[in-house]
Amino acid sequence: PPLPQADGMSEVGNGTLTTHVLNTASGLPAAGLVVRLARLQEPGMEWMELAQRYTDADGRCQPLLAPGQAKSGTYKLHFETAEYWQGLGHTSFYPFVEVVFIITDPAQKLHVPLLISPYSYTTYRGS
C-alpha cells in the first residue's frame, strides 16, 4: 500500500505543471483569466486539450498536470488575455498568448509563469 503523505515534499519527483499570471501594468495578479493546456499529438501534429482553468485572486490555478500525469512531449499553455483586458476596460495588442514548451523529464516539477501588460508579455521557466 502507498505510504501516507505526511509532509509537503511528497509531490517532489512526481511532476506537476503550474503557472501564475501577473498583470505588470498594475503590479497585481491577473484573476479570472482562462488558461488551457494542450499536448501535441504525434503523428499529425494536432493539439489535444488536456485541461482548462481560471486563475484565482492570486493569479494562480490548480496544477494543469497532476502528479504522475505528465508525459514527455511538446505542450502549450493558451492564455485568454483579450477577455481579461476587456474585463478591465482595456484593449490588448495580443488577443491571446500561447507558450509552447517541451517536457523532457516528466518527473520534474515545472512552473511556467506569464507576465502581461496590454502591449507586452514575458514568460520564463520558473521553479
Binding-site residues for substrate, please?
20, 60, 124
Residues 6+ apart with CB under 8 A from 101: 74, 75, 76, 77, 110, 112, 125
Binding residues: 20, 60, 124
Measured CA to CA, the distance from residue 82 to residue 88 in angstroms comes to 10
Closest CA to 37 of 71, 75, 74, 72: 75
- Bridge-based pairing of strands 73-79 and 97-103 is antiparallel
